[in-house]
């Protein structure tokens, strides 16, 4: 396989964009009464035209949330650049509940600053303001971070627009052979870059808790092996290459340990690797298949999939007591658990009526709620704010990514412009 070596992630985000791996956004469902908001084109203090329309980035983010209905620029009666330019009656006339204005200015060499203000048109007053600065290649991220602030102010829920996605892109060439790419993109699918590519399958990407590294499984050595890769330096390390399965790497919340699935000692079992010493600790020793580990946010226990009861179900392993308990009981098949940061909601794949859906299991009430109606859904990943589940599904003969709110109220698709996409992994919050 060919690894794209690079010095800085920010350079890659500008120079290594790959259109064929880029995702598109298709809103499929929103709330019944989305909040109308006007995101006015931002003032630009630099020379020439602004390199990025940051107001449009924010507009698109809020649309994608399904909870907002941004006012079209064609319907705006004015384009205020400062608070004194705002005539609230004009915005109420076009039914805008809120108005966001902003200004983008060059800062220190190589950096840009965004200042924004959000106004309530009914109360005719400012309700929040902010100032964000970043390097020039990250101008779109300035917009995502501002969208996060607006979203949190108006919903009470932290936004997750200023995050990134990992996914595997698969393209079939004219000879019928598949070509695999591990792709990193913004949360809206824009600015995709290829971290790894080749003819060998890539599976199970996951993030380190600080967002600086990723882990994945690659078949480049003719059998599955687990790798870790630093995003800024491109440094890459092979962690395992045992005979049999080497799969499902997931970092512990403190970043010091990695859970994984190995079959080197017989049946597939859950192991822990100390990332400093590479020492392995075997957690499960059952003859059944134990797989797909995921950490609870406190780092004291893991969930995993096992068919030790005859059918795949979710179990919990307590690291302190070394005890195990079954978690899911509803249905004949529950697998691929992923836990929200609140430690309560667990996204998983649930079989119902012969079809595989994305569901959420509440660990407190033990209630399971099916979120999707498609028939072959897999690989759920939860946004760091716990509000959205990203997953892979099928549309015709193509694998696409889709997303659904935990409460089922919002959904959207992220198909690739070409080929199929699968194995999504949503990043933690990024600094």
Nearest to 231 by CA among 1, 2, 10: 10
340 to 43, 212, 219, 237, 423: CA distances (angstroms): 38, 20, 30, 28, 18
**Ramachandran area for residue 156 (φ above 0: left; ψ -120 to 50: alpha; else beta):** left
pLDDT (0 to 100) of residue 6: 33
Please give the CATH superfamily to which domain 2-7+163-426 belongs.
TolB, C-terminal domain (2.120.10.30)
φ/ψ region of 95 (left if φ > 0, alpha if ψ in -120 to 50, else beta) reads left
User: What pLDDT is attached to residue 417?
Assistant: 86
State both tokens at 171. Answer: 């393209």
Residues facing 2 on adjacent strands:
197
| Inter-helix orientation angle 139-155/54-64, to 10° | 40
Give the architecture-level CATH label for domain 31-155: 3-Layer(aba) Sandwich (3.40)
Please write down the long-range contacts of 311-314, taking CB distance under 8 Å and 24 or more positions apart.
314/346, 314/348, 314/361
- Alpha carbon distance 415, 395 (integer Å): 9
Cβ of 206: how many Cβ atoms within 10 Å? 24
- In the chain, ranges of CATH 3.40.50.10070 domains: 31-155
Give the pLDDT of residue 18.
52
The gap from C-alpha 62 to its chain's centroid, in whole angstroms, comes to 16
The 3-state DSSP class for residue 367 equals: coil
Q: Which residue, 115, 165, 160, 111, is CA-closest to 138?
A: 111
Residue spans in the chain of domains classed CATH 2.120.10.30: 2-7+163-426
Supply the pLDDT for residue 20.
58
Segments of the chain with pLDDT less than 70 = 1-21
């Amino acid at each position: 396989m060919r690894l794209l070596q690079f010095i800085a992630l920010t350079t890659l985000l500008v120079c290594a964009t790959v259109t064929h791996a880029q995702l598109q956004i298709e809103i499929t469902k929103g709330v019944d009464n989305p909040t109308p908001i006007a995101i006015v084109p931002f003032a630009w203090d630099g020379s020439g035209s602004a390199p990025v329309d940051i107001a449009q980035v924010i507009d698109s983010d809020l649309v994608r949330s399904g909870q907002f209905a941004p006012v079209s620029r064609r319907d705006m009666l004015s384009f205020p650049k400062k608070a004194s330019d705002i005539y609230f009656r004009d915005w109420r006339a076009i039914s805008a509940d809120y108005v966001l204005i902003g200004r983008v200015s060059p800062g220190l060499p190589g950096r840009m600053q965004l200042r924004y203000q959000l106004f309530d048109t009914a109360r005719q007053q400012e309700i929040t303001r902010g100032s964000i600065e970043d390097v020039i290649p990250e101008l779109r991220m300035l917009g995502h971070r501002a969208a996060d602030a607006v979203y949190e102010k108006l919903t009470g829920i932290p936004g997750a627009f200023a995050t990134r996605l990992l996914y595997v892109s698969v393209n079939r060439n004219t000879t019928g052979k598949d070509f695999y790419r591990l792709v990193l993109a913004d949360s809206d699918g824009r600015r995709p870059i290829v971290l790894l590519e080749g003819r060998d399958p890539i599976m199970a990407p996951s993030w380190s808790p600080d967002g600086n590294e990723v882990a994945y499984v690659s078949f480049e050595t003719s059998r599955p092996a687990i790798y870790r890769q630093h995003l800024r330096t491109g440094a890459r390390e092979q962690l395992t290459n045992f005979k049999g399965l080497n799969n499902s790497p997931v970092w512990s919340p403190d970043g010091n340990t990695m859970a994984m699935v190995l079959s080197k000692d017989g049946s597939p079992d859950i192991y822990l690797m100390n990332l400093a010493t590479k020492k392995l600790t075997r957690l499960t020793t059952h003859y059944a298949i134990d797989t797909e580990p995921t950490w609870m946010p406190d780092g004291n226990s893991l969930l995993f999939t096992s068919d030790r009861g005859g059918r795949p179900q979710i179990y919990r392993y307590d690291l302190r007591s070394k005890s195990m308990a079954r978690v899911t009981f509803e249905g004949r098949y529950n697998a691929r658990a992923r836990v929200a940061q609140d430690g309560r909601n667990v996204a998983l794949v649930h079989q119902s009526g012969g079809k595989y859906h994305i569901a959420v299991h509440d660990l407190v009430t033990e209630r399971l709620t099916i979120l999707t109606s498609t028939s072959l859904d897999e690989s759920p990943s939860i946004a760091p704010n716990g509000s959205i589940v990203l997953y892979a599904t099928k549309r015709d003969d193509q694998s696409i990514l889709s997303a659904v709110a935990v409460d089922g109220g919002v959904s959207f698709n992220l198909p690739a412009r070409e080929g199929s996409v699968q194995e999504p992994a949503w990043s933690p919050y990024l600094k």
